Amino acid sequence: MIAKFPSITLLAALATVATAQTTPKATTTTPHHTTTAAKTATTPPNIPKVVGIPKPLFTLKYIDTKIGTGAPAAERKYYTVHYTGWLTNGTKFDSSFDHPGGEPISFPYGARRVIIGWDTGFQGMHVGGKRRLFVPYQLAYGEAGRPPVIPAKADLIFDVELVAMSDTPPQPKTPPAPAVQPKPADTPSQPTTTAPSKPATDTPPAQPTTPPAQPTSPPAQPTTPPASSNNPPHPETL
């Protein structure tokens, strides 16, 4: 009987092992400040320690819709860009394709000539690439917006295309020459009539061809002086 059945002590030992294998282990929760302290431990010793979790203030997001094959975008270059801008409700507020001639615009990248979202939103692109930018209002027109087109605190969506990049501003395009040049025969002929002649009275009188003849000798002087009396006559007395 003892050989065929296990003892009560052996069964108790097996039950204890099975219970230990099926009972879940207790989990230990690490306090949040402990993890933060571990992170701040990597801060250089000369920087004062702070406790907390870094929080994002605002973020620029994008989707590359076409990868360009040209030169990579670089700082302080002049970008030539096509774009279309929308409000988040779907209202289109501006587009380079709607400008006269449908010409792209140009601006110096990183020089604060455009909104901050544009001054940083082309990083990582290549010439020929296209991108959709999701610009928070803090990187666009701020809390005031740009009424009446851009409302206050308006997040914006842009489709942009990096058309070209250069070290100098692009030169304005010269107007194209007319397809057909006018022929000389097409120009109106000038009148061939001459100006009317002035009346004869307007012409100065003719000058004599030769000066008048001068006398050949001076006038003759009298040969003898007139007779004179030494005693001129006196008036008669009464």
Catalytic residue among 109, 122, 137, 158: 158
The question of whether 64 is a catalytic residue gets the answer no
Selection from 218, 212, 231, 109 nearest residue 160 by Cα: 109
Residue 162, SS3 per DSSP: strand
- For 30, residues 6+ apart whose C-beta sits below 8 A from its C-beta are none
The question of whether 150 is a catalytic residue gets the answer no
The question of whether 109 is a catalytic residue gets the answer no
Kindly list the distances between the CA atom of residue 141 and the CA atoms of 51, 71, 82, in Å, as whole numbers in the listed order. Answer: 33, 30, 20
Catalytic residue among 93, 116, 155, 159: 93
Catalytic residue among 83, 116, 134, 155: 83
Residue 166, SS3 per DSSP: strand
Catalytic residue among 79, 109, 122, 141: 141
d(CA 235, CA 217): 43
| φ and ψ of 157, to 5 deg | -125, 130
Catalytic residue among 94, 116, 157, 159: 94
Catalytic residue among 62, 64, 107, 115: 115
Is the Cβ–Cβ distance between 120 and 62 less than 8 Å?
A: no
Active site residues: 83, 93-94, 115, 141, 158
